[in-house]
Chains A and B, each alone.
Chain A
Amino acid sequence: MAHYTELNIGPIHPAVHGILKFKVKLQEEIIEDVEITLGFLHRNAEKICELNYYADNMVYFDRMDYIDAMNMELGYLTAVEKLMDMEVPERAQWIRMIMAELNRLAARLVGLGAFGLDMGMLTPFFHCFIEREKIQKIFVEASGGRQEVNYMSIGGVYQDFNDQIINDIREFLKEFKPYLEDIYGMFMHSEIFWQRNDGIGILEPDVALDYGVTGPLLRGSGIAYDVRKDAPYLFYDKVNFNIPISHKKDNMGRFILKVEEMRQSIRIIEQSIDKIPDGPYFNNKAKKSMMLRLKGDGEVFSRVESENGEFGVYVRGNGTFKPWRVHVRSPAFKNISVVPVMAKGMMIADLIVIIGSVDTVIGEIDR
């Protein structure tokens, strides 16, 4: 009869990103079983969305994946605009794309920093947050909000880009490129980092498909699935970029892949910033008090590629000013479900690194 040690990692614990609980069964230091408890941050966002006007719900989507707010907004908006047959001006679409990619960079930076912190590397965290702060400053310049931006609106964006913002983005990218390589180097040159990640947290592609895993986790297992490529929204089909995949299937491959994706995000921003046309940034149908008079009928499912993977939004309208049902397909929820499979037979220190590598945001899981 085996004797187990039970260890609670969470709800309040330095290793978990947010509030969730891992109940770990240990045989000495080897993990026998992991049980995940979720729901500590449940805020009933889907139900609240049914009680509000279409335009109001942006605020709740901002607070789902709170470090990748732009992509959350985008997911909701693509669904609602499809539902209402709302046309979005071209300029607004390019602006949205730049903002979404900038926010992807910011979210990845948080992920990298926290990943380092999980392994006891104190320094990269601060450098990541210094750079993220610059992105957030661009957000403030554009929208007035730092993290929960509420920038995009139905039919466009709330405020137009001006020359200063475009200059700031260009300047930021110029400074960021060497900085990113430095941060990458801080991780990659250290052999202990390799020891901690090489061959740890192996996720087989068929297991990943079974669990519905998307995002860097799936691409890290060698399956090239990216919503930006497979079902292009905005103008992702008009820019050149790579979808990096890795057949290494482990933490190391995923880490390199995430950094490579950041480089690709920079490429996308650089290309799209030259392509912004002049014109309106807002559809007049959704202007001012019309924000409250937006009606939708029918049902729609729309998806975008958020920081963690495929973020899908299902909206059903019944012809009134408020949605009848809103449902969110949260990528982080699927991703976190695969942690017990990846962590089985590993050591407790590996579990922490795997959680860091999966990099979930609890706001999105619990909603």
Chain B
Amino acid sequence: MVATVKEIEIPKKPVPILGSLRTMGIVGKYMFKKPITTQYPEEKGEIPERFRYRIFLAPEACIGCTLCEQICPNHSIKMEKWDFKREDTEKLTIETAHGERTNLQNKRHIYPDVNFGTCTVCRQCEEICPTDAIYLTHEFENSRTRNSFTYSPEELTKQEQDVIK
């Protein structure tokens, strides 16, 4: 089955004025249909399950393998030395592919920080992460007033409203 070539049919020229009236009829028909606008800040449209935006980090699962840094197409992810305080991390648990993790695996203490100013949300860091430490969520309202869009590893663990803007 290969595609067949077919000459298009050219329709007849419309009658002046009558043709325009017909166009106006088709256009005017939609006046009686409901508008499809969603009024954004008040009503938020439903977000499909696979929609991703903001990058999060689960420091317990991160092993500092730097794969995310390597795969990031425009170097938005940089590895950074960072000390998480113990009591903070003990509260955080994450369900990973390898079970629940609470201990720090990261011997070198290097964690990704993400520059959202250049991040293209290609989701490859999530795809490549061997321990599912870096993951993206539905959260997408991360506008901020300060100039830098870089999220430190600590900020990446926090919800958007807790991040200092």
Q: Interface residues, chain A, CB within 8 Å of chain B?
A: 52-53, 55-60, 123, 127, 130, 137, 140-145, 148, 150, 153, 158-159, 182, 185-186, 188-192, 194, 198, 224, 226, 228-229, 232, 236-248, 252-253, 256-257, 260, 288-289, 291-292
Contact = CB atoms under 8 A, between A and B. Distances in A.
A190 B4 contact: no
Nearest to A193: B23
A291 B73 CA distance: 12
B123 A288 contact: no
B32 to A, nearest CB: 14
Contacts of A186: 23, 26-27
Interface residues of B, number: 44
21 contacts: A56-B124, A59-B73, A141-B50, A145-B122, A145-B123, A148-B120, A148-B122, A150-B120, A189-B19, A189-B26, A191-B19, A226-B3, A237-B1, A242-B3, A243-B6, A245-B5, A245-B7, A252-B10, A289-B67, A291-B127, A292-B71
B49 interface: yes
Given A144-B50, A145-B123, A189-B26, 14 more contacts: A56-B124, A59-B74, A59-B122, A123-B30, A140-B51, A148-B120, A150-B122, A190-B20, A191-B15, A237-B2, A242-B4, A291-B71, A292-B71, A292-B128
Most chain B CB within a 10 A radius of its CB, from A144, A238, A246? A144
B8 interface: yes
A289 B73 contact: no
Given A140-B48, A236-B3, A145 B13 contact: no
A142 B70 CA distance: 25
B163 interface: no
Sort A-B residue pairs by CB-CB distance and give the 7 closest, nearest first.
A56-B73, A189-B22, A224-B5, A59-B73, A229-B3, A190-B23, A242-B6
Nearest to B6: A242
Contact of B120 (A59, A144, A292): A59
A194 B128 CA distance: 53
Contact of A243 (B3, B13, B128): B3
A291 B128 contact: yes
B92 interface: no
B20 A289 contact: no
A191 B14 contact: yes
Contacts of A190: 14, 19-20, 23
Given A56-B124, A289-B130, A159 B50 contact: yes
Contacts of B5: 224, 229, 242-243, 245
Given A185-B23, A194-B14, A232-B2, A53 B70 contact: yes
A337 to B, nearest CB: 25
Contacts of A191: 13-17, 19-20
Contacts of A288: 127-128, 130
Interface in B26-61: 26-27, 29-30, 36, 48-52
B1 A56 contact: no
Contacts of A289: 67, 128, 130
Nearest to B49: A141
A351 to B, nearest CB: 23
